[in-house]
Structures are given as C-alpha cells and as structure tokens.
Amino acid sequence: MNVQKLHHHTPRLRKRSKLATRIELVRNYGLIFLLFGILVFVFTPPDNNKLDAATSEINKTNEINNAINDAPITIVTCEVSTPHSQHPETAAQGSFEIAMFTEDVEKPGSSAGAFLELVEKHHFYDMVYTFRSVKGFVVQFGHHAKQKKNPQPAKARNKDADSVPENSIKISGKQTRTRTERLEQLRQKRNSYGTVTMIAGPAGQVFVNIGDNYYLDKDGTVPFGVVLEDERDQDLDEEEPNQHSGMGLVDSIYHDYKPGSGQIPAVNQNTVDKDFPEMGRIDRCYKSSSS
C-alpha cells in the first residue's frame, strides 16, 4: 500500500517542482530588471535644460513677487455701516482697505489719482449709500442726494492713463488671500473679484467687483485698486458676526434689493430709512497709509 501511494504522488511532486522553478526564474528576472532600472536611474545624468528652465521660472516668480512687495502702495480705508437696518445684529459693519500702486496714483489723469483726490480733498465718498449692490456682480457707491455733478478730479481723467498691461492674465480674487497675491491681481488690471474700478464718465462713482466680471475690461473700466484681506477676519468673534473686514465685509453688504427699484430716488429724497432700510452706507473713506 505504501508503495502504491508513493507512486500515486510522484507526478504531483514533479509538477510542483517545475512550477516552483518557473516562479523562482520569474522572480530572479524581475530582481535583475529592477536592479538594472535603479542603476540606469542613478547613473543617468540630469537633463540640464529642464533644470535650468525650472530654475529660471522659480527665479522669475521670485523677482515678480519681490518687485510687487517692494512697489510703493497707497492705502485708502473705507468704513461701512447699515444705519437703518432692522437686523443690526447681522447687518454689514466694519472697514475695508483699498490698495493702489503709488505709481498709478501719481500718474496724471489716472483713476487712482482721481480717487485719492476725491477722498482727501473732497470727502466725496463720505456718507454715501451703496445704492447698487448686486450679488455676484458689484457693490457701487458715490452717488449723492445733492449730487456734486462731475467732480473735477473725475472729469480730468485720461483713459490713456488707465491701461491693461500686455499679456495680462485672469486671476480670480476668490482664490487669493495674501498681500502679494492681491497686488499681483491688481497688477493685471482685470475686473476680477476684489478689484475696485471707477465707472466710465465724469461722475466719480466707484464699484467693488464681487464677481469675476472680465467682460467689463474695456476703456474707462480699468481697475485702479484692490481690496486687501485681513487675516483676523478668518477668526471672527462669534458674539459679533457682523464685524468683518476686507472682502468679507464687502460681500456682507445687503444685496437682495432688485437693481433699479428706486434706490437713487430714495437717496435723493432722503427716504432710504423707509424704502431701503437694509441698504449699506460708506460712512467715510480716508488715506490710511502709503509706502
């Protein structure tokens, strides 16, 4: 019986032996190829052209960032309230900063220069309502009940002084937070989220883009400033949910009134408190710093 059993199992042992041999060969060849690949990788010289291109791109980015950070800027602070709100606990309240390149401010006929002059010499944006506030589009202000028709700084603007640079790219302000990123966004002079633009014509009104409105990129509607972000706005006091800064504040300005529903007549007739109680107001704008 034992001899028969032995004879019965011998073919299976041979088959297993052949299978084991094949597996071992495959494994050995695999190890050889792996070792060969490692040797090729270790001893293959780097592609200097690719390294040089990557290094050049990094250096270029660093140069741009350094140039932006070193560029003198002028900052105007605007304070916001909702004085007639029926829900003061959640109504917009706080301040935001508008940064402008000082080079643009000093350029004759520029919108940046006109804006700063209207702020400093004319107090043009003090106690004016955000009469046009459209979700995802703009927050606009600068209309007066006793309209100062065509203020001189706005009339003196020269469209050639406001221009979009060549090879300008689209940078959405929704993805930018740091000062460098915001200033790079402004440098592109596109009507993207967070940029500030003076309307075409001599009225002097301005708007903050609360959407990426690239189709507005045309003569007379070139951004002159950008709203800076305040990192403290990321950790708001839970007891004061309406205390915002930066674009958090601009976005919180009431925007559910249908455009063209009588906002300007209400401002002219001093009936905002009754007709549009949630309308936001720019209490004052002032030059806060320059560097």
Q: Mean pLDDT in each 10-residue stretch from start to end of the chain (291 residues)?
A: 47 57 75 79 68 53 60 98 96 97 97 98 97 98 82 93 93 91 97 97 96 92 94 49 80 96 96 98 94 77
- Specify if 66 maps to a domain: no
Q: How many domains does the chain have?
A: 2
- Whether the CB-CB separation of 208 and 138 falls below 8 Å is answered with yes
Q: Are residues 207 and 247 in the same domain?
A: yes
Is residue 35 located within the same domain as residue 158?
no
Give a yes or no: residue 257 inside a domain: yes
Is residue 80 located within the same domain as residue 35? Answer: no
Same domain, 15 and 134: no
96 and 217 part of one domain = yes
Same domain? 156 vs 26: no
Q: What are phi and psi of 81, to 5 degrees?
A: -145, 170
What pLDDT does residue 70 have?
A: 84
| Separation CA 230–CA 260 (nearest Å) | 33
Q: Does residue 193 form part of some domain?
A: yes
**Any domain includes 55:** no
Are 110 and 157 members of one domain? yes
Is residue 77 located within the same domain as residue 132? Answer: yes
CA separation for the pair 243, 59 (Å, rounded): 40
Q: What is the pLDDT of residue 58?
A: 54
* 198 and 283, same domain (yes or no): yes
Tokens of 9: 């199992």
pLDDT at 147: 65
Roughly how many angstroms between the first and final C-alpha of the chain, as a whole number? 103
Cβ–Cβ < 8 Å for 151, 113: no
Q: How many residues does the chain have?
A: 291
Q: What are phi and psi of 36, to 5 degrees?
A: -60, -40
Q: Within a 10 A sphere around the Cβ of 132, how many other Cβ atoms?
A: 22
Two tokens, residue 38: 């490692």
Residue 31 has which token pair?
């190890």
Distance of alpha carbon 229 from alpha carbon 179, whole angstroms = 7
The whole-number pLDDT of residue 236 equals 46
Element (H, E) at 7: helix 2-43
Which residue type occupies 156?
A: A
Do the domain assignments include residue 201?
A: yes
215 is in which domain, residue-wise?
A: 73-290
Do 226 and 130 fall within a single domain?
yes
What is the reported pTM?
0.76
